[in-house]
Chain A
Amino acid sequence: MILSVSCGLCHVTPAPDRNSCPTVSAGEKAEIGVMSAVRSGQHTRPMCFLLLLMILQLGLHTAEGVWPLPQTLISSTERFPLSPQAFYFGYGSQSAARQGCSVLDAAFKRYFYLIFPDYTSGRWNLFSDKNEKDGTLRFSVDKQFTVEVSVDHDDCDGYPNESSSERYNLSVFSGRASLKAVTVWGALRGLETFSQLVYQDDFGSYFVNKTDIEDFPRFQFRGILLDTSRHYLPVQAILKTLDAMAYSKFNVFHWHIVDDPSFPYQSRTFPDLSSKGAFHPMTHIYTQSDVRRVISHARMRGIRVLPEFDSPGHTKSWGKGQPDLLTPCYKGDIPSGTFGPVNPALPSTYQFMATLFKEVSVVFPDSFIHLGGDEVNFSCWKSNPYVRAFMQKMGFGSDFTKLEAFYMENIINITSALNKTSIVWQDVFDYHERIPKDTVLHIWKGTPASYYAELSRMTKAGMRVVLAAPWYINHISYGQDWHNYYTVQPLNFSGTEEQKKLVIGGEVCMWGEYVDATNLTPRLWPRASAAAERLWSDEKQTSNVDKAFPRLQDFRCKLVRRGIQAEPLYVGHCKQEYQGV
């Protein structure tokens, strides 16, 4: 009880005002919760866990539940009741976006249900009836609360891009909250934060505490890669992932749409690619309208869709619908019947690629296109006499990395001509000196030591970089491996401040060898959320896994409540458990 009072009075999560608060901080309180939860795995269950529960039950709720942690958050124990019957979203008088703004109008509707999750189920009505009979609580049902949203730019009909501001300020007062942002994308982030501030007491009543938040992302690029080639992911699974991404403030969906095993993208110009290269030409493809649906669903949540058409390796499935695209491998003097990477020696290859990427650049509005370029196996090229002859002609000698570089240069030129920024896997940089300066490099390999070295080299060369190596989340292991994803220090490499600015963000990769619709969601969440906080929040405030644990546990239950099958961090329970199988 003593604890509950002291930490209830002054709760300041982030640093600025922390020193001025002499009482127990949220972080310290949180730590107690963690220790008890961990110990309960053995034989003792300290009382402080009970105390923590009592704090929550007494309604001295604090705003510890925001994930990822805002840059600055000040909240008090003063709380305001919310009622779905008297809750409104509105546009501020100075707002550039008004009623009719597609992104925000849809977001208001979405967040209403996220804020009042049992409103539709009729449970709320049950509670409000009770309240009315009781009489004493009636005021709490009727008091109006308005969230007033103001943005500086009317970008309602645009797409989020690599320089979109996601900054927002959120202040919660009695009867109203004010949310101010530069763009609608920032407003979306603020709405998400607001939805996480709202909580229910044991009787189902909703509350929000007096709160002041200033927030912005640490990194501009915060991505999730899904692989729809090794297993086909039904559109529904992708849309659900986009929902969950918005809850963790991810803003890039890197769609690794095709690869060796299958080619599910239905191309307008080359329909044979999917009709021959997909697992099934009817049921296992993404039609143009599927793709549009994904892009639109993502846009509504402030998420960019970055398509990857990886070449010249990882293209086995392309060869089925596009004859002569791949290099025929030779055994001695004769073709072996197998095929290798894209054939870089034929002009027809570049004509095909130019046409395909022209289509891709129209279908996908984002200014980035991912060109892959990883793991090119040279043995087939080496075996092919025509490729060898081409090498001679070009003066490459026997250095096949030069051939690969030649190929990638051509492809990058194609996308540059389409006014798109190329992003490529690190292999391309490793092999190639003459990469256009505006190309973005994507690090996927190695131990911390080796990716730090790579970060230094790349940024020294003046290139922008996205880091994925520490977040290969398809690699699973027993226990709380989210710690590994949380404690990454993306900028802990040797380099100048200028160099560090070139690290535009990071990405969580869920490669598909062992993942399909049956297990994607629990494998992704909440493990990816750990990376989300690393990419959004201030590293100094969020470096301690024990402090993060109760907040992440709380967030995980919020995901479950929202219908996202997020797996547990450790023993324990959610008030509302997952209702599926």
Chain B
Amino acid sequence: MLLKFAVLLLTLALCQANRQPNILVEDVEDVEPAFEPSRFGSLWPLPQKLQISQDSFKLGSGFRIVDGKGSSAGASCNILQNAYRRYYEYIFGGAKRQGVGKSRRSGPSELTELRVYITSADSECDGYPSVNSDESYDLSVVQPFAVLKAPKVWGALHGLETFSQLMYEDEYGAKSINATAISDFPRFAHRGILLDSSRHFLPIKVILANLEAMAMNKFNVFHWHIVDDQSFPYLSRAFPQLSQQGAYHPYTHVYTPADVKMVIEFARLRGIRVVPEFDTPGHTQSWGKGQPDLLTACYSGSAPSGTFGPVNPILNTTYDFMAQFFKEISSVFPDGYVHLGGDEVDFSCWKSNPDIQKFMDAQGFGKDYSKLESFYIQKLLNIVTTTKKGYVIWQEVFDNGVKLNPDTVVHVWIGGGSNEEMSKVTAAGYTTILSAPWYLDYISYGQDWQKYYKVEPLNFNGTEKQKALVIGGEACLWGEYVDATNLTPRLWPRASAVAERLWSSKDVTDINDAFNRLSVHRCRMVERGIPAEPLFSSYCPREYKGI
């Protein structure tokens, strides 16, 4: 079972830690964090079932990825044809430049084709991935044809990524792959990355590069926290003044409908859902600039202070606006879910406003402003329900006792006590997404990926039935300190740790083996143009060139 690993792996250096003032390490001799090749090569995330043999085959440049005969997806399947080309370039991109592999004749131990079969009648080629998508695949690398079988295109995409990860190079740059049998499927259906394009505007190019990196890690949800207090870059067709007034700049710092479309299609081609978040009633300062009377006017004593608080929940115009706005959102974003936020609502402004106080009295809410919040959310949920979308909300909405539809997804984010929260939310019967342990914007010195890796999402008190309600998790990269200059290296490969936790079997927990695989996986991302930062002292055969 030992893999014959080539230069790519062996040369990854083993280095010694040191010179860390404030953290004085004494007598570190012989405690070198040694890299050694994993018997699973550089697979990341690790497939559910795999067998790798010692027999290796060569991949010449005559190698092709083709549709298998009888596959339900053919030449007209955009998703697959694009993926074939992408993975061919990933595999041979380096070699083509070097002009290696001219020989067209296939030798006795050469792999000439990867045949891709979509086995179910509906390949879903022209559809969008959903939370229920079948992402499973079987991959068999045998001579002379490797075979990839998947019920849907989504599984085939993952299988292509896995295939590309099995390939390795010898020291002369020749490509090899070992005889392998893999049967794979994700542990969790929702494996997401949150990017925040409000605190800092993220150019489309950055978003697309990170969708690429997500696909390399089998993430399947891009949670687009598109607007917030700081700016409103989403260009709404129905309410263009929202970005006109609320973006950092009305032309250079906005996402036009064409931009949004491009992101969604780029994501679809990689099996990634785009779940937009329009967070209300808090986190909406930027909305107020382009939509007068939407936000609550705060009062100082008996006069308006000139500042504004959360969305004003007592005006009919608010709900008219929301209905029209979310109608647009539901048609612009094809995913079955919209994230409605609902976190961190500050009650002080509502409290200061006399009209709201009157409304509270009239409704019999007393002084309990969480009832007012519930009132708002309830009306919003009804609006969104009419658009035929499901919705995700941050945990406070649940915590505050808002009446939710049974199919609501609750997003747990508050660190400390998140296990208890997971118990509570699932005990109440709600589908749940976990993010609390994976706030990747919090950085620290050293190998913090291990912290993210060691999280066990189902490590809470609850029945099997409760645990089945946890559909996955998300790594969140909030934008206070992150923009195009540092986003990508800050996210990768730290988010990769989360990716394996959400995809691989629960018992994949060997941190040393993870280090060995992840080291090579990160070099592979670098080679594919993703500036993924190093885990520790080491090198990649091809260092990052994008300086």
- Interface, chain A (partner B; CB < 8 A): 40-47, 230-232, 234, 236-237, 240, 260-262, 279-280, 283-284, 314, 316, 329, 338, 340, 374-375, 377, 379-380, 444-447, 469, 472, 474-479, 511-519, 521-523, 560, 565-573, 575-581
Contacts and interface: CB of A to CB of B under 8 A. Distances in A.
B17 to A, nearest CB: 7
B483 interface: yes
Contacts of B443: 476-478
B534 A515 contact: yes
Contacts of B230: 40-41, 571-572
Interface-centre pick from A340, A474, A567 (highest chain B CB count, 10 A): A567
Interface stretch (B68-76, B122-130, B202-210): B202-210
Interface of B: 11, 13, 15-22, 24, 27-30, 199-201, 203, 205-206, 209, 229-231, 248-249, 252-253, 282, 285, 306-307, 309, 346, 349, 441-447, 479-486, 488-490, 526, 529-547
B480 A41 contact: yes
Given A514-B534, A518-B533, A45 B285 contact: yes
Contacts of B252: 575-577
A236 B206 contact: no
Contacts, number: 205
Given A231-B538, A565-B485, A568-B483, A511 B19 contact: yes
B444 A477 contact: yes
Contacts of A472: 21-22
B485 A512 contact: no
Contact of A581 (B17, B481, B531): B531
A279 B545 contact: no
Given A477-B444, A515-B534, A581 B209 contact: yes
Contact of A578 (B307, B349, B484): B484
A379 B27 contact: yes
B444 to A, nearest CB: 6
**Interface majority SS on A: helix, strand, loop or mixed?**
loop
Contacts of A283: 541-543
Given A40-B230, A230-B537, A279-B539, A573 B21 contact: no
A560 B209 CA distance: 19
Given A513-B536, A573-B231, A236 B18 contact: no
A260 B16 contact: yes
B30 A469 contact: no
Given A477-B445, A571-B230, A577-B201, A43 B18 contact: no
Contacts of A284: 539, 543
Given A40-B229, A573-B200, A581-B206, A475 B481 contact: no
A314 B18 contact: yes
Contacts of B24: 445
Given A234-B547, A444-B21, A44 B307 contact: yes
Nearest to A47: B306
B480 A570 contact: yes
B544 A522 contact: no
Nearest 5 A-B pairs (CB), nearest first? A261-B15, A522-B486, A519-B489, A518-B531, A230-B537
Nearest to B534: A516
A374 B18 CA distance: 11
B481 A567 contact: yes
Contacts of A374: 19
A234 B543 CA distance: 8
Contacts of B11: 279-280
A203 to B, nearest CB: 14
Nearest to B538: A231
Contact of A518 (B22, B442, B479, B489): B489
Nearest to A235: B547
B446 A514 contact: yes
A476 B285 contact: no
Contact of B249 (A45, A231, A575): A575
A340 B29 CA distance: 8
B285 A316 contact: no
A436 B316 CA distance: 83
Contacts of B253: 573, 577
Given A476-B444, A478-B444, A566 B485 contact: yes
A77 B443 CA distance: 42
Contacts of B479: 571
Nearest to A230: B537
A446 B20 CA distance: 10
B533 A568 contact: no
Interface-centre pick from A47, A231, A338, A377 (highest chain B CB count, 10 A): A231
